[in-house]
Amino acid sequence: MKRICLHGPESTGKSTLGTRLAAHLGCEVVPEYGRAYCEAHGTDIGMAQLVHIAQTQDAMNRAAAARAAELGAGYVLFDTDPLITSVWAHMMFGAADGYFGAFAGFADHYLLLDIDLPFVDDGLRVYAQSAERKRFFDLCRAELDGRGVRYTLVQGEGEARFTAALAAISA
């Protein structure tokens, strides 16, 4: 069973791509807990809330991976994991709690989604300016590089993005 995590800044199509990939691969996709949290509590959050979000996301991801293994599924998809929450901490506060540095429950393969899609403001998104998006993307890549995890950059719109993601998963 292969654990695939979608990684990248907001408004790069992670949730849309995850849903489509899960349907194609016949597997579960774990939704983004941080989105649900912010919908319920707002976006004015601190480091303690980011740690809570990351820990809850990790628990959800681990539970889904266990279900997938039990069912003999080939894949499980994570819309996100604590590595992206660590990037949020760096974007928001310039640093991250020690929890993030100690996190080691990495996925088998990360799909780093490029910022080559237009930004769509859905009311929860924060970093819309080009320079902010570029900084967010650079921090995302640096997080993956710094952890030494396996990842593939996924670019393109629509079908091209989907095809690139499938190719990365199959490689």
User: How many other C-beta atoms lie within 10 A of the C-beta of residue 14?
Assistant: 24
Q: At 10, which CATH number?
A: 3.40.50.300
- Positions in the chain whose pLDDT score sits under 70: 119-128
What is the span of the domain harbouring residue 148?
2-170
Please give the Cα distance from 53 to 169 (Å, whole number).
26
Residue-level pLDDT at 122: 64
Look at residue 94 in the predicted model and tell me its pLDDT: 95
Sheet holding 2-7, edge to edge: 29-30, 75-78, 2-7, 109-113, 151-154
Q: Checking phi first, is residue 72 left (phi over 0); if not, alpha (psi -120 to 50) or beta?
A: left
pTM of the model: 0.93
pLDDT at residue 11 in the model: 84
Read off the pLDDT of residues 45-86 as tens digits, 9 standing for 90 and up.
Answer: 999 999 999 999 999 999 999 999 999 999 999 999 999 999
Side-chain-side CA neighbours of residue 152 (13 Å)? 18
Q: Is 108 exposed, middle or buried (0-12, 13-18, 19+ CB in 10 A)?
A: middle
Structural domain tally of the chain?
1
Measured CA to CA, the distance from residue 76 to residue 74 in angstroms comes to: 7
Q: What is the pLDDT of residue 130?
A: 81
Q: Is residue 152 within 8 Å of residue 171, measured between CB atoms?
A: yes
Question: Token digits for 12?
Answer: 């790069």
Distance CA 107, CA 136 (A): 20
